[in-house]
């Protein structure tokens, strides 16, 4: 295996609002020491302020990085046509790999697997990669915690998603919260405005969370 490592991860897979962001971060093995010293790790373990600092430092260190944003409409399309979110993620991860991989150097590619079945998802991903000959694929669960390059990618993805959420907050208000179903602020917003903003690219309309909120609001209107 060579001295180049490409870590890939995503942020925002599960929320009912906002985009999913996928990122790839190509680093030299020797630069992992610097990443470790900076405290690079899974983005969920880093405070928002620290993430902003680390994002800038990672971009300085990386030989290359790519960020892909999937808006809610694209996510809904993938879910509704039966190809599922894991297939969309395979498409986007392959897109990042193809963009970064020149085929000239050996690269260790490490991905935090988005699917329960690592082997089946790997088989889904491989045909989408244009050139596999110079790549060594490592696809694991919890790779964002176990590999610095994947931790770096997770920080890039999370920082970009948070920027996108900030833009949504400017339009819809701070009340949208984080966009995650575990956020009480988000859930109150969904339960109140699911119908009002149904034509906007805000909610993931293939999520049962949004569908159930719409049903309740329709029921309330009928009872008046």
- Give dist(CA 76, CA 210) in Å, integer: 12
Report the first-to-last Cα separation within the chain, whole angstroms: 67
pTM over 0.85: yes
Cα-Cα-Cα-Cα dihedral sign, residues 15, 18, 20, 21: negative
User: Which element (helix H / strand E) includes 98?
Assistant: helix 84-100
Domain pair 4-168 / 170-216, same fold: no
Q: Which CATH number fits domain 170-216: 1.10.238, 1.10.10, 1.20.120, 2.60.120?
A: 1.10.10
Q: pLDDT tens-digit profile of 61-76?
A: 999 999 999 999 999 9
Instruction: Provide the pLDDT for residue 190.
Output: 97
For the 4-168 domain, the top CATH level (class) is alpha beta
Regions of the chain where pLDDT drops below 50: 1
Predicted local distance difference test score (pLDDT) of residue 1: 43
> Residue 165: what pLDDT?
97
Burial class (CB in 10 A: 0-12, 13-18, 19+), 30: exposed
Write down the domain spans for the chain: 4-168, 170-216
């Amino acid at each position: 295996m060579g001295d180049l490592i490409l870590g890939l991860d995503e942020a925002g897979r599960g929320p009912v609002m906002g985009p999913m962001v996928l990122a790839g971060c190509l680093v030299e093995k020797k630069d992992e020491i610097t990443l470790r010293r900076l405290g690079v790790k899974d983005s969920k373990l880093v405070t928002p302020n620290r993430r902003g600092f680390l994002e800038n430092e990672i971009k300085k260190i990386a030989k290359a990085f790519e960020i892909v944003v999937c808006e809610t409409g694209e996510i809904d399309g993938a879910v509704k046509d039966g190809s599922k979110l894991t297939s969309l993620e395979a498409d986007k991860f392959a897109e990042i790999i193809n963009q970064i991989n020149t085929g000239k150097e050996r690269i260790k590619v490490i991905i935090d697997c988005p699917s329960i079945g690592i082997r089946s998802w790997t088989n889904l991903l491989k045909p989408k990669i244009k050139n596999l000959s110079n790549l060594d694929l490592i696809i694991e669960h919890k790779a964002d915690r176990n590999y610095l390059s994947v931790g770096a990618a997770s920080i890039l993805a999370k920082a970009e998603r948070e920027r996108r959420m900030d833009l949504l907050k400017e339009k819809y208000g701070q009340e949208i919260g984080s966009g995650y179903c575990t956020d009480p602020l988000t859930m109150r917003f969904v339960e109140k405005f699911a119908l009002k903003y149904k034509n906007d690219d805000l909610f993931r309309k293939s999520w049962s969370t949004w569908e159930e909120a719409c049903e309740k609001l329709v029921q309330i209107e009928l009872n008046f």
